[in-house]
Amino acid sequence: MISAQRHSKKVLIVDDDPSLRDTLSSFLFLQGFSVESAENGCAALEILSGSTFDLLIVDAYMPKMNGFELLKCLQEKKIAIPSIFISGFINEEMREEVRRLKVLEIVEKPFSINEILRNIQRGLKAIEKSNQK
């Protein structure tokens, strides 16, 4: 397991699976992240209306508002938050869509907890580099 580091990065997890949200939230909290979660895109928009986040982890397919709809809505509102997509089904059409939405990474379910952490760390480093330019 990757050792815990303390930092102030805020992550919003958006997934309709309560077990996955709870497990991922607990793990990321232990890694030093500030974490909130939402069960779909609509709930995420409510949270985002009152808080800012450094990173979103978004399930592609959820009821009410899926991950694609959420990211499109955020783009329309000119809210730029780096995102990692997670999905149990990834195909080329989905890859094209997430490229258009400028998603940092796509992670296929099931994934290991350390795999998602590596993707988060890689995404945050890429953001820091682009902010330094």
Return per-residue pLDDT of the chain as tens, 133 residues: 334 445 579 999 999 999 999 999 999 999 999 999 999 999 999 999 999 999 999 999 999 999 999 999 999 999 889 999 999 888 888 888 888 888 988 998 889 988 999 998 888 887 787 777 6
pLDDT per position as a tens digit, 36-58: 999 999 999 999 999 999 999 99
Rg (CA), the chain: 14
CA 55 → CA 14, 37, 42, 113, distances in Å?
Answer: 11, 12, 17, 16
Q: CATH top-level class for 10-132?
A: alpha beta
pLDDT score, position 7: 59
